[in-house]
Structure 1
Amino acid sequence: MRKLTLPILMAYGGLAVPLAALGLPLVVYLPPFYAGPVGLGVGTVGIIFMIARFWDIFTDPIMGMIVDRYPSRWGKRKHWIAIGVPVLLIASWYIFFPGDSQPPIYLAFWLFILYLAFTFVGLTQQAWGVDISQSYNDRSKVYGWREIGSIFGMMSVLALPAILESSGANFKEMIGGMGYFFIIALPLTALFGLLIIPDDKKSEGTSFPKIKEIPLLLKGNKPLQRTLAIEFLCSSGSSISGATYIYLARYVFDMGDISSRILFLYFLAGLLIMPFWMKLSYIIGKSKTLLISTLLCSLTLSAYIFIDTRDALPVLIALTILYGIGYGAPFTLTRALMADIVDADELRTENKRPGLFYSILTTFSKVGAAIAVGAVYSYLEWSGFRPGEVASEEVKGIILFVFAVMPMILYFGASLLCIGYELTSEKHKEIQKALEARNNLSN
């Protein structure tokens, strides 16, 4: 495999730009859009998004095995990107531009198709990162660039509604701007990635594990168990705060006109701090860096409880930036840790199966997000919250509780799981040496 160069890292991170530009609206903007302007209601939208995410529980592992099993003459990964991108473009058009009103089946159908294609492209990209990196620190570098691309994508897609918001555009026009950004950016970055990122044309596909063997991957594999649990907790926490941010800004802090601009600062902070998290992981290790970042998120969220909502702008901006500083590191580091787990599995089984392992990781992430959006939106509707209506003090308190307290507990739980993580840099070096020795013997 070629040496990791800046163009390769940029192309790999570039693939994450449109995927994140789609992922952010799916969590933050599209649920309120379909619940409000499209007219489906908070409870209905929450259930549809939750079911669509649970659909991924079944499709992700299957897709992961397919991505590992069937290479092509172009390599192991490129053809899956080329197949997934057109489907994703079509589905995203119907999701971002639904017209004036649609029945629930419209959202359910196109959301299922979108998630299917989104998984194909996103899962292939994550597995590709294992192929182009070998060392412990290279993994942090590769997935750090992926997170930089993700945050840049989210900032870019946020810039459009922030500009439109300041010019008096309505919510539907803001959603349309996000859709156009994604539809333009995806084919451009995909083409750049396909041309620049190396792919192993000599790679042979791995065999399908039996369905009953998949749960056995977890048995006795403590690093995998910890990483999946951390991903689940962080994804749940991030999705809860993301899905309720618009309601928090508009109904609790009365900052609807500048909500997108404040959220932009959140992602800007995450982008600027990412090189620091990468460097810190080289020095103290991924698991300790993960502990620090999740604890920072938890502590920051706890401070929201004490804000005076009547004059909150300076404090809200400060906390948003601080939360953004902690935001990006957990998802970078869980993916870097998973790459090391793939190596350990290869040493044990003689099969390199990053597609399968990343499909399991994304499944846990999506389950956390599904439960978060479905349960939280259902709870808000049950509590009497109605988009577009004046919120009572009691409802405001419930929105603040959901946004801050629930994710605070989840992030704190994730930080506890980082303590005593087993697959350290030293152990990974031993695994790499054993793999190299076995490969030399086979050659």
Structure 2
Amino acid sequence: MQQGIGTTAEGGDANISRRTAIYYSASVGPIAIMGLPLSIYLPPYISDGGVVAVALVGLMFSLSTLWDGLVDPLIGTMIDRKSKGDAPHRRWMARAAVPLVLLLALLVSIGDRLEFWALLPLLLLYYSCYSLFDVAHLAWGSALSNGRSEVSARLFGAREYTAKFVLVVAFAAPALAQYLIPDISLQGRIVAYVSLVAIAMPLALLANRKVPGRPVAIEPGFGWRKELKLSLQSPSLLLILLVQFLNAFAFGAMASTYIFFAEAYLRLDQYGSLLLFLTFVGGAITTPLWVYAARKLGKPKGMMLMCSTLIFLLIGGLQLPLAGQLLPSAIYTLILGGAFMGLIFIFGMIADYAPVDAQICGRDRTAFIFASGNLMQKFGNASALAISYWLLGYFGFDPSNAEAHGKTVRNIWGGLPVIGWGLAGIIALFLVRQPWAQVQQLPLPRKAMAG
């Protein structure tokens, strides 16, 4: 089991030092960089290659993310049951690092020239290695917070802030490449982006060595049937997972069609990388404000505020005459990017709920819960990708003549996220009253924790 609240690796202090938060968040760099290319850059890149049809590209990425989602709980259970020693999470991340980098290099170098049957296995392996790295990092953060709401908000807020900062730097690379080489291909922009992994991965592994370990004792499992039964009997866990699915669906719908949106509706394809860059600048600027909201309002209320803000920006902003206008489009994407903060609240809620789940189940399932959250995230992304690309195909979208379908792309790009975040905000409303979700947490009797 995880260490008790007052017995951290930094002494008797139950709080996490700023240094620990910095080192923990520093290792999120590869996760941030290597996650988004699949949802933003790779589908259009594969489509442009012409080897795989547009509709089939959506199906392929949906199948691979669904596979990854199914594998996530297995990875989480493996981390929970096969970890021992002072820093097992660190070792899992190190094992995933090398194959993850090699697979990414293959995808961005030859992915557009591969047939469906050859590309799909690469995607499946890539997603699995990425999940191992990511789930281990999330479980480590939960172990460090040990159910303390203030600490989880601080750790996962630092994680998200660092991720936004890394993405600002990362998306500056293709924007700069496109500025210096106006005729650079989409593959060239992707290579400029992912080349930063060569810096981020070693830094992450070095930072991991500075994060305090948490001794983990191997605990016997109680079978998948009971594992699933206990999960289905927890309304809190089901609500959190549903919010994760809807948030991922909304963001996935925007991310998977953004390149087409910039080209077809904004008619600013030559500035597409710059606009993507600005969305993460906005996120980096506003992250401290959203962390403050998580700490002062509580994470469910913060999630509701974020959903309301995004819906307002999408419905209102897309009524503006943005087509062909660089400055208004840049301001709009900067503001919109400042509201993409769902993971601060969702990861924090999972970390706060994990000790409650341990009391219900009689054993720690932190990595399994985070992996289940990742499963919902992958299902959300896969559903968004499949539906978005199906709708594009249904309405006759042609990547070679994108500007002729500007309004269709705009409606898909903005409409699906409004639905997703609207439902997520409603679901978050039901989490507000859960005892573990209160801003000021107190020790709760066992029965009160059963929710």
After TM superposition, the score normalised by the length of structure 2 is: 0.90
Q: How big is the shift at 1:152?
A: 1.8
Q: How big is the shift at 1:99?
A: 6.8
Structure 1: distance between partners of 2:107 and 2:437 = 43
Q: Which residue is equivalent to 1:267?
A: 280
Q: How big is the shift at 1:290?
A: 1.2
Q: Which residue is equivalent to 1:23?
A: 35
Aligned letter for 2:343? F
Q: How big is the shift at 1:171?
A: 1.4
CA pair 109-99 structure 1, distance change in 2 beyond 3 A: closer
Q: What are structure 2's unaligned runs of at least 5 residues?
A: 1-7, 447-451
Q: Which residue is equivalent to 2:212?
A: 198
Question: Please, which of 350, 373, 384 is the counterpart of residue 338 of structure 1?
Answer: 350
Q: Which residue is equivalent to 1:176?
A: 191
Structure 1: distance between partners of 2:430 and 2:120 = 42
Q: How big is the shift at 1:309?
A: 4.2
Q: Which residue is equivalent to 2:415?
A: 405
Q: Which residue is equivalent to 1:437?
A: none
Identity %: 21
Structure 2: distance between partners of 1:100 and 1:57 = 24
Aligned letter for 1:216? K
Q: What are structure 1's unaligned runs of at least 5 residues?
A: 435-443
Q: How big is the shift at 1:397?
A: 1.6
Q: How big is the shift at 1:350?
A: 2.8
1:297-342 CA distance string (max 9 Å, x none): 11111124312244543432333222212102x1111010011111
Question: Please, which of 293, 313, 323 is the counterpart of residue 300 of structure 1?
Answer: 313
1:248 and 2:261 aligned: yes
* Two-structure CA RMSD over aligned residues (Å): 2.0
Q: How big is the shift at 1:411?
A: 0.5
Q: Which residue is equivalent to 1:291?
A: 304
Structure 1: distance between partners of 2:308 and 2:439 = 25
Aligned letter for 2:196? F
Higher deviation after alignment, 114-123 or 133-142? 133-142
Structure 1: distance between partners of 2:119 and 2:192 = 19
SS of residue matched to 1:196: coil
Q: How big is the shift at 1:264?
A: 1.4
Structure 2: distance between partners of 1:358 and 1:4 = 21
Q: Answer whether contact 2:260 2:402 (CA < 8 A) is retained.
A: no
Structure 2: distance between partners of 1:260 and 1:401 = 21
Higher deviation after alignment, 70-79 or 123-132? 70-79
Q: Which residue is equivalent to 1:44?
A: 56
Q: How big is the shift at 1:345?
A: 1.0
Q: How big is the shift at 1:349?
A: 2.6
Structure 1: distance between partners of 2:315 and 2:276 = 18
Question: Please, which of 208, 212, 228 is the counterpart of residue 221 of structure 2?
Answer: 208
1:85 and 2:100 aligned: no
Higher deviation after alignment, 420-429 or 84-93? 420-429
For these two proteins, the number of residue pairs brought into alignment is 429
Map 1:14-413 → 2, pairs under 5 A: 14-37=26-49, 39-98=51-110, 101-134=113-146, 135-167=148-180, 168=182, 169-193=184-208, 195-201=209-215, 203-310=216-323, 312-328=325-341, 330-392=342-404, 395-413=405-423
Q: How big is the shift at 1:220?
A: 3.9
Aligned letter for 1:139? S
SS of residue matched to 1:77: helix
Structure 2: distance between partners of 1:396 and 1:375 = 18
Structure 1: distance between partners of 2:143 and 2:111 = 42
Q: Which residue is equivalent to 2:3?
A: none
CA pair 99-302 structure 1, distance change in 2 beyond 3 A: closer
SS of residue matched to 1:241: helix
Structure 1: distance between partners of 2:135 and 2:283 = 23
Structure 1: distance between partners of 2:326 and 2:101 = 38
Higher deviation after alignment, 370-379 or 208-217? 208-217
